[in-house]
Amino acid sequence: MNNPPNPPITQAVALHTARALVPIVSLLAIQIRITQDRFRIEIRDKCIAELEKKLTDQLKENLAQKHEIIRLQKQLLKANDRFSRETQKYTSRLNQYEGHFSDAKNHIVELKEQIAVLKAQSPPSDSAPTDSESL
C-alpha cells in the first residue's frame, strides 16, 4: 500500500499559514519584552531593597549618634552649671578673703600708728628693743 503523495503547498496555503503565524510571532515578541521588563524590574527591586536597607541602617546609626550627642550635651550642661556654681563659691570666698586681708592691713596700719605714738611718748632708753627685735 502506497500512500498517496502529499498535495503540493500552494501559494494561497503558504500565505494563509504566514498570516496565521503573524499573531503568534507578535505574541511571542510581546512575551519576550514582558519577560525582559520583569527581569529589569526584579533587578531594580533588588537594588531598591538594598538601598532601603542601607538607608535604614544609616538612619538607625544617625539616630544612635543623635541620642549620644544629646546625652553628651546634657552632661556638658550639668558640668557647666556645676562649674558656674563652684566659680561663684570661690569668687565669694575670694571676696571674703580680700575683705579679711583689707581689715588685717588696716589693723596693722593702726597698730603701727599706735606703736609710733607709744614710742614717741616713751622716754628714750639705751636698752630699748629695735624694730627687728620687736617683730
Tell me the per-residue pLDDT of 20-73, one tens digit each, with 9 for 90 and over: 889 999 999 999 999 999 999 999 999 999 999 999 999 999 999 999 999 999
Euclidean distance between CA atoms 135 and 81, whole angstroms: 47
The H or E element containing residue 5 is: none
Give the predicted TM-score (pTM) of the model: 0.48
Three-class secondary structure of residue 22 per DSSP: helix
Q: Which bin fits 20, alpha (ψ -120 to 50), beta or left (φ > 0)?
A: alpha
